[in-house]
Amino acid sequence: MLLYILKRVGQGLISIVGASIVIFFVSRLSGDPIVLLLPTEAPPAVVEQVRRDMGLAEPLWRQYLIFAGNALTGDFGNSYRWQAPALSLVLDRLPATIYLALAALLFSILLSVPFGVLSAVYRGSWIDTLGKGFAMLGQAMPNFWVGLLLILVLAIGFNLLPAYGYGTPAHIIMPAIALGWYPVAAQTRIVRSAMLDVLDSDYIRMGRAVGASERVLIWKYALRNAAIPLVTILGVYFAAMLGGAFVVETIFAWPGVGRTVVEAVFSRDFPVVQAGVLLTSILFVTSNLLVDLSYGLIDPRIRYDR
């Protein structure tokens, strides 16, 4: 068990270091960052001075080591645009993104669990077909389009919800639906097939034989086991939500990491882009890691000593 945890944590660290290498070298492919910092008419002596001060005269691999070393202490440099530490700019926006991702996840669970259970219990019925159709539609609609349609109908058409912004509980509803729509399909499928397996098992048949009510059997005993695959995969979807948040935050003017990074791309504010993307990767790897490690806690039948 311990060995397994160490191995997975090690793999996670390799992924994060790899991600930082990719992010660093891709950013440097643009050529000299000096060009962005100084006016074009700056005298060559000044350019040389700044280059040396910023460590840009060093070979690339040493620059990467310096970048990684600074990143470990939380220093990504200052934002070119805001003159403030890039990491703190991004970290300030992190709670809003996590709030949005969790709300989206909650929305997708509220939809996929009942749909998954009902389509397993009433296999082949209209509910099953409806669930399938719904899921297929969800996977074919881009999240930003869902968001725009929601704004069009709920905010502009019926004036029910604020079209964008942050603050009240009403503000979270549309972004959460737009972001949480996509995983519903896959989650429904997971719950459905897990439920089909469980409903077929001995203990459910046993429960039926001793006269337990069908409702208790399905929603209490069966769902508790059928939910294991869903719970274990939620971390993966949480991570996916972080990626989707880049677009959804932009439409709803949601003050999260995604929107900050998108804005930074347009002003070519590399420190903020690097800090934001690396932070997203770290969250991504961490939640996937927690998923793997949580298997054993959620389902004691799983052992790691294989």
Binding stretches for other proteins (CB under 8 A): 11, 14-16, 18-19, 22-23, 26-27, 29-30, 136-137, 139-145, 148-149, 151-152, 156, 193, 239-240, 242-244, 246-247, 250-251, 261-262, 264-266, 268, 270, 273-274, 276-277, 280-281, 284-285
Rounded least distance, CB 142 to other proteins, Å? 5
User: What size, in residues, is the chain?
Assistant: 306
**Nearest residue (CB) to other proteins, 140 versus 210:** 140
Rounded least distance, CB 251 to other proteins, Å? 7
Rounded least distance, CB 110 to other proteins, Å? 23
In the three-class reduction of DSSP (H, G, I as helix; E, B as strand; rest coil), residue 6 is classed as: helix
Nearest to 88 by CA among 74, 108, 102, 98: 74
Instruction: Classify residue 75 as left (phi > 0), alpha (psi -120 to 50) or beta.
Output: beta
Rounded least distance, CB 82 to other proteins, Å? 16
The beta-strand segments (E) located in the chain are: none
1 to 6, 7, 70, 141: CA distances (angstroms): 9, 10, 33, 41
**Nearest residue (CB) to other proteins, 14 versus 65:** 14
**Nearest residue (CB) to other proteins, 212 versus 263:** 263
The residue written with tokens 């996916």 in the block is 240
**Nearest residue (CB) to other proteins, 101 versus 121:** 101
Rounded least distance, CB 146 to other proteins, Å? 9
**Nearest residue (CB) to other proteins, 49 versus 139:** 139
Q: 5 exposed, middle or buried (CB, 10 Å; 0-12, 13-18, 19+)? A: middle
Rounded least distance, CB 106 to other proteins, Å? 20
Structure tokens at 168: 């009240």
**Nearest residue (CB) to other proteins, 118 versus 241:** 241
Sign of CA dihedral 171, 172, 178, 184: negative
